[in-house]
Structure 1
Amino acid sequence: MSRKGTRRLLAVAVTAGATLLADALPAHAAGYSAFAFNLGTTEPTVYSFINSATRTLDMTMYELSDTTAVNDLIARKKAGVTVRVILDRTKTSVNGSAYSSLKAAGVGVVYSSSSYVYTHQKTITVDGATSMILTGNLTSKYYPTSRDYGVVDSDANDVAAVERVFGADYAHTSVTPGDGDNLLWSPTDSRSRLLAVVNGATRTLDVEEEEFSDSAVVDAIAARAAAGVKVRVVLETPGSYASEVAQIDDAGGTVRGYSSSTGFYIHAKAIVADYGLATQKVEAGSMNITSNSLDSNRELGIILTDSGVASTIETALNSDYAGGTPA
């Protein structure tokens, strides 16, 4: 889920490589772009995206505890933008302040449906034209130490699919998500879509994950290593996944981990297969590699061949792998 326990505190310097950042394209530019969270006290790329909305803004967020983001949403409402927000109903201790502030300002804000164990999705859509799909929450106290990514997507079919699901989830009505051109959703097709990315790797497979326990996906990653694919995994608290780590190691892959209670934290959920090759694919989204995340939550991710998106994620992932401890 989000973070395990309360051990994630503000704090500390990070390795130089952990500050890598690629700026997102303007909100309405065609195509795709990506950025790494900037490991500062704010996330200006996210704020700029929110402030680009001129007509509508729809946000689904597992955790929203960022005064700047909340104030920006309220400012958009005051500017005449129709703002709607879904917050996870189980995280009222985190989301309560934002919920109250948004409600008082006349923003349309609801808690998520009980149809899902968690609404763990992290997405912002502006003007029905561009969606930002995030691996990280808008929880400012974690910004300085968390590895997370965002992908900006202006593919019309993707955005239409995101908006259709948002409308149903906002109204607490049932919906079968569509994938548009590039999406994957929980609890519908995320596992099969992740497996397609993993199984399609022919030369290299790089995985960066906070949680790592779904047997089908872990088995597939190990199978790629056993088949001769160069597999690298960057993992938070690898000690929590000892059998899965051993499985990857035994198959010929390598795992690097982070486990400081106050330092650099792998919150990202991303996969890069065959980087730089014609068969390249990159996936990023909210879903962890766990059965609960894939089968029981509302989650959203994106799979692309885009070289810019792949480069942004692979560059940061390389840095994180180099800085991790062998598991």
Structure 2
Amino acid sequence: MKKKFFRIILVLLFACLLFSCAKEYDEHFYGQRNIEGQENVGSGDFASAGEIISFPRKGGDDFLISAIESAKNRIWIEIYTFTKNEKIFQALLDAKNRGVDVQVLLEGNVYGTPAINNQARKILRENHISVKYTDNNRYVFTHAKFWLIDEDYYISTGNWTRSFFTKNREYIYRGSDESTRKFLEKIFQVDFAHKGFSQLSEIPPQIVMSPINSRHQIEKFINETNDEILIYVQTVTDLNIINLLQKLDNNGKKVIVCTADNEGNRAVFETSGLDWILATEPYLHAKIMLRDDGNIFLGSENFTTNSLDNNREMGILLGNRLDIFQKIREDFRKHCGS
């Protein structure tokens, strides 16, 4: 009788896990993958009064330290890699000591250098700054690079490393529009709490976020090319993306791809049939698209399957900003010779 009773209990527990608890389990592990964007996502142009900051530049970290030093209420940082920088650490500590809410979210398993963020985490914790590693059960990597300082937000192509400030080709978009800022606040909070987010209707049309809608947004951006598109991205290996670019090229559109000279790109560029440049110095770490109608994509997303479908990534679409378009277009010309 007792054995039968325990068997019944085990069956009921299994049923709970299989049915009642399935929604929570699936969201934690798989819920955000394969959720493609819908028609209301990515529609319309977005223009913000923000600014672009380009790298490498002399005194590269000065602008960031200045922003931290001027913070009055909060500094929330979600970034893939944060290596030792005494001036930035001190600025964050000073901000905390004057009552600013400082929170930092770091990737705990960086590809190729899994312990690279340990030192930053240790220093921040020793100074009683709230710091966490990201949820690797939910995302392969949290490769996003964004932060909020008071009412401003920053979406970056690069990390807080010496190479970012002084050696790489990178860009940051700084803005303050309410829709983007409030959305980034929400994403930072759910990521910091290791919770999921899949409310597609709440994503502003300018946001490009993996794993929910990056593929949809980026493929849509490519497909809507009228005459010319420039791809200025560190790594491009996703076959769907390459096929879309080839289709444009075959239809007489001008497609120029400029990437870093790395192993992944070298494996595909010769056989792609595309006008493809492997850039040299400065090292191309940016993730940018420029379309002939003046629209711009800027974000953390490489055009790889993992980046688009499995990581947490963050990017933004910009329209009606000829000044930003022309600045990046000139960088592209000088860097890629086209």
Asked if Structure 1 and Structure 2 have the same fold, meaning a TM-score greater than 0.5 normalized by the shorter chain, the answer is yes
- C-alpha change, 1:153 and 1:41, in structure 2 (3 Å) is closer
Across the two proteins, how many residue pairs are aligned to each other? 283
SS at match of 1:77: helix
- C-alpha change, 1:154 and 1:142, in structure 2 (3 Å) is closer
When the two chains are superposed, the root-mean-square deviation of aligned CA atoms in Å is 1.9
The residue number in structure 2 matching 1:299 is 313
- 1:113-124 alignment runs, 5 A limit: 113-114=135-136, 115-124=138-147
**Deviations 1:58-95, CA, capped at 9 Å, x for gaps:** 10010001332222221211121101110001135221
The residue number in structure 1 matching 2:8 is none
The residue number in structure 2 matching 1:176 is 198
The residue number in structure 2 matching 1:205 is 229
Per the TM alignment, residue 144 of structure 1 is displaced from its structure 2 partner at its CA by 2.7
Q: Gapped runs of 5+ residues in structure 2? A: 1-47
The residue number in structure 2 matching 1:55 is 73
- 2:176 pairs, out of 154, 169, 173, with 154
SS at match of 1:148: strand
Letter in 2 for 1:282: I
CA contact (8 A) 2:121 2:131 kept: yes
- C-alpha distance in 2 between matches for 1:171 and 1:122: 17
- 1:132 pairs, out of 154, 178, 184, with 154
- C-alpha distance in 1 between matches for 2:56 and 2:318: 22
CA contact (8 A) 2:259 2:265 kept: no
- C-alpha distance in 1 between matches for 2:62 and 2:252: 41
The residue number in structure 2 matching 1:226 is 250
SS at match of 1:63: coil
CA contact (8 A) 1:293 1:299 kept: yes
- C-alpha distance in 2 between matches for 1:236 and 1:216: 19
Name the TM-score, length of structure 2 as normaliser.
0.78
CA contact (8 A) 1:158 1:183 kept: yes
Per the TM alignment, residue 239 of structure 1 is displaced from its structure 2 partner at its CA by 5.5
CA contact (8 A) 1:87 1:110 kept: yes
Q: Gapped runs of 5+ residues in structure 1? A: 1-29
- The question of 1:105 aligning with 2:134 is answered no
- 1:62-101 alignment runs, 5 A limit: 62-65=80-83, 66-91=85-110, 93-101=115-123
- C-alpha distance in 1 between matches for 2:283 and 2:330: 17
CA contact (8 A) 1:39 1:147 kept: no
CA contact (8 A) 1:149 1:313 kept: no
- The question of 1:314 aligning with 2:329 is answered yes
- C-alpha change, 1:320 and 1:77, in structure 2 (3 Å) is same
SS at match of 1:288: coil
The residue number in structure 1 matching 2:39 is none
- C-alpha distance in 2 between matches for 1:304 and 1:181: 10
CA contact (8 A) 1:272 1:281 kept: yes
CA contact (8 A) 2:56 2:164 kept: no
Name the TM-score, length of structure 1 as normaliser.
0.81
**Deviations 1:80-130, CA, capped at 9 Å, x for gaps:** 110111000113522111111111212111110121111100111112x22
- C-alpha distance in 2 between matches for 1:130 and 1:41: 21
Moved more, 223-232 or 114-123: 223-232
CA contact (8 A) 1:208 1:235 kept: yes
Computing the radius of gyration over CA atoms, which structure comes out larger, 1 or 2? 2
Letter in 2 for 1:281: N
Letter in 2 for 1:255: W
- C-alpha change, 1:215 and 1:41, in structure 2 (3 Å) is same
Letter in 2 for 1:67: E
Percent identity of paired positions between Structure 1 and Structure 2? 24
Per the TM alignment, residue 313 of structure 1 is displaced from its structure 2 partner at its CA by 1.9
- C-alpha distance in 2 between matches for 1:93 and 1:142: 19
- C-alpha distance in 2 between matches for 1:52 and 1:310: 29
- C-alpha change, 1:51 and 1:307, in structure 2 (3 Å) is farther
SS at match of 2:148: strand
- C-alpha distance in 1 between matches for 2:235 and 2:134: 23
**Deviations 1:7-60, CA, capped at 9 Å, x for gaps:** xxxxxxxxxxxxxxxxxxxxxxx7221121134463222222333321011100
- C-alpha distance in 2 between matches for 1:46 and 1:39: 12
